[in-house]
Copies of this chain bind each other. A is one copy, B any other.
């Protein structure tokens, strides 16, 4: 059986672009991992009629997940709207109110605490749609499984940590458990390529007549890398194997990950005990910051030098002032000296040197905005590149770290 789901994300602050929705994409991936096909994510504000309209829109799905609107304040309306939409009353659950009150009590020490206001909010959160199954609070808000004449509605809180933890326990609660068990298993495989332009993968997909395959193939550029994600049912394993082989035949030279690993994780594996250090200018700390994103990175990242000024390049990374004067701060020579300086000052096996023009100012005809010189070196080997990256300041800075990681991979593969 195929199970189709829709997601309703509530919150005027999400709808208006003030905060970025994290829950829709997260739930979509979680559902896909359980074989459930998500047909749409609808973001609506905290207006009862708009939430109701979104539920109507999704009324022929098997499953609807809502996120947000479970808090103690008056603009938290989701439970009221879902109950009314499903045609059931709200009932006060005294035991639930006491459990929430116990949780709220723990906030006393940490937050300014107004007893009456807090009690009022708690009472509101303890109203349960008749016949619904309560999902115990992760923060202070309980969630609910509400059956309707149409889909099963799973009402989840808005804070991503609460939502994710509540979802993890909800999947074992009836009737959600049985519904999920009825979904056919779907496989997802991700292949990552760098560098590979989008028109080229598009041409490859046309050549392979990919539309005719029993595979749902999506391609996207992410942080400068091209990702091919393919979802398929149990019967299409052979079709996928053939498709992957055809991609490897055409683009295997730029395939760097076939097991879901990001370039960051690939690097962490490849370093295998070797240490790395950074001396960076235009990325201003983001290169070191990216290398230390992963837990456990202290095993191989020794540290970095953020050398924004020319004086800092010389004083901290030991780049000769004469070298800067001769070639300019943004030059392959200075990048190489930065990489060497990072290695020497931090005693690392591998050094990364970055210098460039992130913009919006500072460009020249010879070195326009987006020009970045990179060097990755060990004592005996190096990778050196000068690139011109598109986009604004944030794009150039972020893309630079991707290029550097791929240069580091190339160096480590031959070391």
Contact = CB atoms under 8 A, between A and B. Distances in A.
Interface of A: 11-21, 24-29, 32, 38-46, 50, 53-54, 57, 71-75, 107, 110-112, 114, 117-118, 121, 161, 197-200, 202-203, 205-206, 211, 216, 218-220, 222, 227, 229, 231, 278, 280, 283-293, 295-298, 301-309, 311-312, 315-316, 345-347, 359-361, 391-394, 397
Contacts of A304: 284-285, 304-306
Contacts of A110: 197
Given A41-B42, A306-B285, A199 B118 contact: yes
Given A12-B218, A303-B308, 20 more contacts: A24-B43, A40-B45, A40-B50, A71-B198, A74-B205, A75-B211, A111-B199, A117-B203, A121-B202, A161-B391, A285-B288, A285-B289, A289-B397, A295-B393, A301-B308, A302-B308, A302-B309, A303-B305, A304-B304, A305-B306
5 contacts: A16-B25, A18-B218, A40-B44, A75-B211, A295-B359
Given A284-B288, A303-B306, A316-B345, A15 B44 contact: no
A347 to B, nearest CB: 7
Main secondary structure of the interface of A (DSSP, over half): mixed
A312 to B, nearest CB: 4
Contacts of A291: 284-285
Nearest to A30: B17
A206 B301 CA distance: 49
A29 B45 contact: no
A285 B288 CA distance: 5
Going nearest first, the 7 A-B pairs with the smallest beta carbon separation are A284-B292, A285-B288, A17-B25, A304-B306, A285-B285, A285-B289, A17-B29
A289 B295 contact: no
B13 A17 contact: no
B222 A19 contact: yes
A312 B306 contact: no
Contacts of A114: 200, 203
Contacts of A71: 198, 202
Nearest to A209: B74
Nearest to A307: B303
A200 B54 CA distance: 31
Highest count of chain B CB atoms <10 Å: which of A29, A111, A114, A292: A292
A402 B229 CA distance: 35
Nearest to A104: B199
B309 A298 contact: yes
B283 A202 contact: no
A121 to B, nearest CB: 7
Contacts of A219: 13
A284 B74 CA distance: 41
A28 B40 contact: no
A408 to B, nearest CB: 16
Contact of A74 (B41, B206, B216): B206
A285 B297 CA distance: 13
Highest count of chain B CB atoms <10 Å: which of A38, A50, A227, A361: A38
